[in-house]
Amino acid sequence: MPTQSRQIRATPEELFSVLADYEKYVEWSPDVVTAGVLVREGDIVVAEFQSPFLMEGKYILEFLESRPSSITYRQVDQYDSRGLQGAWMLSASPGSSETLVTGQMEFRTDLWKRAGDRRRADRVLQRRFDALQAHVSGGSAVEPNLPEPAFESLPEGQGLTVWASGVEYRFIRTGQ
């Protein structure tokens, strides 16, 4: 399971409050476009998310919260043990105002998809860590450093081929 850790200047309780406020993921997590809590009962929460970078369409996660040290989650709208699962673990750093945050994320998919899913989970974790750190420090989420669009620099009549998820897309510049 892809795992990343980072020291973040905040208490475990502060970080837990941000990570457990699922409806506000759209405000700080760069990949989440919609989020809403469906059910909250004690330390169990069921929430619906949409993150086009993670998967097509909306998905439903069940969270088990153990305040302020951990949140585990698993996707509950999939069959045959497929879907998304992971955890956030928080540990106060002794003698410091920082907390060690460890994030885990895994896609339970077919064997032939696992290498790509592992890379995708690593990228999402990295982006979420960057955004979480910026959010709790009072800054804004880190915007991705994107290059200038290649298509706009092409002369008229020239083409560009892009491969995404095994599909070839061809674009031809036709004018301004």
pLDDT digits (tens, 9 = 90+) for 84-112: 999 999 999 988 899 999 999 998 776 65
pLDDT of residue 1: 84
Measuring CA to CA, which residue among 71, 99, 89, 94 is closest to residue 14?
99
Measuring CA to CA, which residue among 171, 53, 35 is closest to residue 123?
53
Do 49 and 25 touch, CB atoms closer than 8 A? yes
Residues whose CB is less than 8 angstroms from the CB of residue 68 and which lie 6 or more positions away in sequence, other chains included: 11, 12, 13, 15, 16, 90
Mean pLDDT over the full length of the chain: 84
Do 90 and 15 touch, CB atoms closer than 8 A? yes
The stretch 25-50 carries a mean pLDDT of 95
* pLDDT over 80 at 20, yes or no: yes
Place of tokens 């860590």: 129
The stretch 66-78 carries a mean pLDDT of 93
